[in-house]
Homo-oligomer: A and B are copies of this chain.
């Protein structure tokens, strides 16, 4: 049976994202951040977004475009240390920020992708990171409940894809992308190269096609991706 072609135009794909949407964005720093999808989201301009991303990129890059455009109500992240603008907006109360330990953030996204309610952990016990979390008694000891983080959309960046939606990431650009692709109601992927179905070996796929809804082909990469213009 042939694979369904998931190819989509950039505008058409991003137009689905409306006010108040919860949007996961892949990437750890620059690698794996879907800058072109974010740029189109800024052009589109929905408001009151909840953004879930490991970090807030740097000023003038990626997530910061959304922050500066006033589109973000809430940011769920592991750290924003490289973005003074995000710190300023947080301190000024212009955005809500929920800090989550990095591996717990990854796992809360993953557990949503796994269709489960949450997980039980001892990470942060005895520190202020445990404050406000539901406590559970298991085997006579106290643990923390970590709820799944679900989202309406995931925006991910792949190095290579086939037209059916199988994705392959490169090096440390993998990071949160495969987890988010599984966790959102609708996954929109941008890919540097789209190859015909059948060219990516089934053992080499990182994100299987059923997790991908729309696939956007990138033209030449802008410099923000770290591309050095020669």
Q: Assess the B138–A118 pair: CB atoms within 8 A.
A: yes
Interface size on A, residues (CB 8 A): 25
Of the listed stretches A6-14, A63-71, A109-117, A215-223, chain B binds A109-117
What residues of B have a CB within 8 angstroms of the CB of A117 in the complex? 119-122, 138, 143
What residues of B have a CB within 8 angstroms of the CB of A134 in the complex? 138
Chain B residue, CB-CB nearest to A138: B117
Q: Assess the A171–B120 pair: CB atoms within 8 A.
A: no
Is A145 located at the chain interface by the 8 A CB criterion? yes
Is A136 located at the chain interface by the 8 A CB criterion? yes
Instruction: Count identical subunits in the complex.
Output: 2
Q: Assess the A145–B120 pair: CB atoms within 8 A.
A: yes
Expressed in whole angstroms, the Cα–Cα distance for A125 and B15 within the complex equals 38
Expressed in whole angstroms, the Cα–Cα distance for A145 and B168 within the complex equals 34
What residues of B have a CB within 8 angstroms of the CB of A138 in the complex? 117-118, 134, 145, 147
Q: Assess the B107–A171 pair: CB atoms within 8 A.
A: no
A residues 166-187 in Cβ contact with B at 8 Å: 168-171, 174
Q: Assess the A107–B114 pair: CB atoms within 8 A.
A: yes
Task: Give the shortest distance, in Å, between A86 (CB) and chain B (any CB).
Answer: 29
- Between-chain CB contacts (< 8 Å), 9 pairs: A107-B116, A117-B122, A117-B143, A119-B120, A136-B136, A136-B145, A168-B203, A169-B203, A171-B202
